[in-house]
A = this chain, B = another copy of it.
Amino acid sequence: MRKTIIGVMGGGDANKKDIKLAYDLGALIAKEGWVLLNGGRSAGIMEASSKGCKEHGGITVGILPGRDSSSTSKYIDIQILTGMGDARNYINVLSSDVVIACKGGAGTISEIALALKNGKKVILLDFDIDDTFEEYRNSGLLLKAQSPEEAIKLTKNILSVSGVGN
């Protein structure tokens, strides 16, 4: 019964273009029947991807840094309160069957790094940071996509090989 969980990482600050990408990505995740997991806050990529997912009938899980609901996006169905600050980034990536990283700052980079360190496949969506993780790009753990559609296609390939969610 275990559901496939797709983690969407990305900045709390984001420009219009990236907000649109994240919204569209959330919508596509919903259409696939996957659960969308993110950092849960009502900001940037988190808010946009949750909104896109919810407005297309999906389920959203937010892994919050704090101990209460004050910063939680209204588009989060299942709110996990960790009370652990950015240590929760580790939980974000461990809990995701595949990690898709939109543009972001140091927080997002920490999630990409923790994911790769722990053997998770990461798809960079219009985020040119792959040179930093060259070793993982070469080994095939780090992939790139230019559109939400391409990210979904790559995710399907990964899931079909790993057997997650089947």
With contact pairs A77-B3, A86-B90 given, residues A133 and B117 touching in the complex (Cβ less than 8 Å): no
Inter-chain CA distance A83–B133, complex, in Å, is: 23
Cβ-neighbour of A76 out of B2, B109, B117 (below 8 A): B2
Interface residues of A in 62-119 (CB under 8 A from B): 63, 67, 69, 72, 74-87, 89-91, 94-95, 105-107, 109-110, 113-114, 116-118
Contact A118 B86 (CB under 8 A): yes
Contact A83 B78 (CB under 8 A): no
- Tally chain A residues at the interface, Cβ within 8 Å: 45
Inter-chain CA distance A110–B107, complex, in Å, is: 9
Q: Which chain B positions have C-beta within 8 A of A110?
A: 109-110, 113-114, 117
